[in-house]
C-alpha cells in the first residue's frame, strides 16, 4: 500500500486557534485603562512600520492582566492593535513556553528540570509538590492555588535546585522540607521571601563573600618556571639514558667482532 505525504506549514494546517467553552472568539477581553497606557508606552519604542515587534511585550502584558494566561480574545485584540493577522499572534504565543494558553493556578510553579537542578534534587522537589498539592505535572490543584510545570534552564544553576513562580519570582537552594514550607505559606495566604532558602545571600559560597571582606587570596596558579625546569631536567635525563644505551650497544657490537 502506498501512502502520499503532503507537507504543509503550521499556518496551513491550523488556521484558527482551538476554541473551548471558556476560551473562544466570544470570550470578552480588553486591556484595562492602565494597561492601555502601558500599550502606548510599549508601541512608542518602535517605528510604526515595525510595531509588530511589540508582540511579545503585549502578550506578556495580557498574560499578567489575566492572572497568568493568555486567552484567545487577548490574542485577537493584540492582532488588531498591531495590525497583523490573528494567526501571527497565535504562532508567537504557541512558540514560546513562557506564554500559557490555558488557565493556571494562582501560583504557577515552574520547576527547573535541566541537568544541574536535576543532579541537585529537582526530582524530589517535583515529587514534594505532587504529594502536597495532589497534582501531577501540567495539572492544577482543585482549589485553583497551584499549577505544576517542569521547564528548562531558568538561569540560576549555581543555586540549584530552584523554581520560578508566576514567571517572575525565583526560590532557590530548595530541599523537600523548604519546598513544603513554601507551599504551606502560600496555602496560608502568606508570601515567603524570594531567593535562596538556605540562608545564603545571592550566590555566595559557604565562606561568605570573603573576597569583599579581606585581601583576595592569590590564585592557585602553577609555577611555570618550575614546570619548565622540571621538563628540561626530564629531557636531559632521557637524553643521558639514550646516550648510555647507545654506548652499551656499540660496546657489545665491538666485543662480537
Q: Which residues are annotated as a binding site for [2Fe-2S] cluster?
A: 112, 117, 153, 157
Angle (deg, nearest 10), helices 176-187 and 122-133: 30
What is the dihedral sign for C-alpha 202, 204, 208, 209? negative
Residue 52 neighbours by CB distance under 10 Å = 17
**Known binding site: residues?**
112, 117, 153, 157
C-alpha cell at 224: 611555570
| 146-151 β-sheet, strand order | 139-140, 146-151, 107-112, 163-165, 169-172, 195-196
Contact call for residues 174 and 161 (beta carbons, < 8 A): yes
The separation between CA 199 and the C-alpha centre of its own chain, rounded to angstroms, equals: 23
Amino acid at each position: 500500500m502506498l501512502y502520499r505525504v503532503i507537507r504543509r506549514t503550521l499556518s496551513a494546517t491550523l488556521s484558527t486557534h482551538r476554541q473551548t467553552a471558556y476560551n473562544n472568539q466570544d470570550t470578552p477581553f480588553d486591556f484595562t485603562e492602565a494597561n492601555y497606557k502601558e500599550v502606548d508606552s510599549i508601541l512608542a519604542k518602535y517605528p510604526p512600520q515595525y510595531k509588530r515587534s511589540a508582540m511579545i511585550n503585549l502578550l506578556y502584558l495580557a498574560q499578567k492582566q489575566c492572572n497568568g494566561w493568555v486567552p484567545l480574545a487577548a490574542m485577537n485584540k493584540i492582532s488588531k492593535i498591531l495590525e497583523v493577522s490573528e494567526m501571527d499572534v497565535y504562532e508567537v504565543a504557541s512558540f514560546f513556553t513562557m506564554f500559557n494558553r490555558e488557565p493556571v493556578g494562582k501560583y504557577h510553579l515552574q520547576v527547573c528540570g535541566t541537568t544541574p537542578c536535576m543532579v541537585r534534587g529537582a526530582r524530589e522537589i517535583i515529587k514534594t509538590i505532587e504529594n502536597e498539592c495532589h497534582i501531577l505535572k501540567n495539572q492544577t490543584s482543585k482549589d485553583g492555588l497551584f499549577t505544576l510545570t517542569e521547564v528548562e534552564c531558568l538561569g540560576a544553576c549555581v543555586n540549584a535546585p530552584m523554581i520560578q513562580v508566576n514567571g517572575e519570582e525565583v526560590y532557590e537552594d530548595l530541599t523537600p522540607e523548604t519546598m513544603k514550607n513554601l507551599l504551606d505559606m502560600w496555602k496560608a495566604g502568606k508570601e515567603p521571601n524570594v531567593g535562596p532558602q538556605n540562608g545564603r545571600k545571592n550566590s555566595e559560597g559557604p565562606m561568605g563573600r570573603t573576597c569583599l571582606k579581606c585581601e583576595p587570596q592569590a590564585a592557585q596558579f602553577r609555577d611555570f618556571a618550575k614546570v619548565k625546569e622540571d621538563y628540561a631536567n626530564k629531557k636531559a635525563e632521557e637524553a643521558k639514558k639514550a646516550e648510555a644505551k647507545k654506548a652499551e650497544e656499540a660496546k657489545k657490537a665491538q666485543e662480537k667482532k
